Homo-oligomer: A and B are copies of this chain.
C-alpha cells in the first residue's frame, strides 16, 4: 500500500494513463486504499491543481468517478494542437497504413506492422480520430482490435465498397503477403531461422 505522498503520485499516474474516467471503487482496488481515502486524496489533488497556476491539469469528479483533463484556460491552445494535427495532409506513413487497411481489411495492428516493418500506434490513432478507419474487437483474439476503412471514407473516394479499389482482386491476396498471415510472429521466426541455418556442404 502506497504512503500518503506516493498515493497522490499513483493516482496522478493512473488518471493520466487512463484517458477515461475511473471509478473510486476501481482506483481503490488497484491502489489498495479504501474508497474514502481515495476520495479524500482526489479532492486534495484536485485542490492542488487548482491552486497551482503552473499546472495545466484539472480533475473532474462526477458520480464517484474521476477524470483527468486539461484546464479550461488552455482550451484554445489545445484545440489549435488537435486541429493542426488533423489539417496536415496525410503523411506517407498515414497513406501507407490506410492503404494496407483498405486492401487487407479487417486487419490487426500486429499484421499491419508486420507488413510495413515499423510500429504504427500513432498513425492508427490519427486515422481513427479522423474517422477514416474504425476498429472492432478481433473475433479470433480478444486482446486486439481489427481495423477497416470507414464507409464514409470509401464514399469520399467515390467507392461503393473496398472491392472497387483498383486491382483489389489481385493485390488483396498477393503471394508476398502470405508470410504475414499469421501476424508478426513470422518475423522473429525468420530471425531465428536466419541464425540457425546450418552450413550445407
Contact = CB atoms under 8 A, between A and B. Distances in A.
A57 to B, nearest CB: 6
Contacts of A113: 129
B57 A13 contact: yes
Number of copies: 2
A30 B83 CA distance: 11
B129 A118 contact: yes
Given A16-B56, A17-B78, A77-B10, A187 B117 contact: no
Interface residues of A, number: 62
A155 interface: no
A100 interface: no
A55 to B, nearest CB: 6
Interface of A: 5-6, 8-14, 16-20, 22, 26, 30-31, 45, 48, 53-57, 68, 70-71, 73-74, 77-78, 80-82, 84, 91, 93, 113-114, 117-119, 121-123, 125-126, 128-131, 134-135, 152, 184, 187-188, 190-191, 194-195
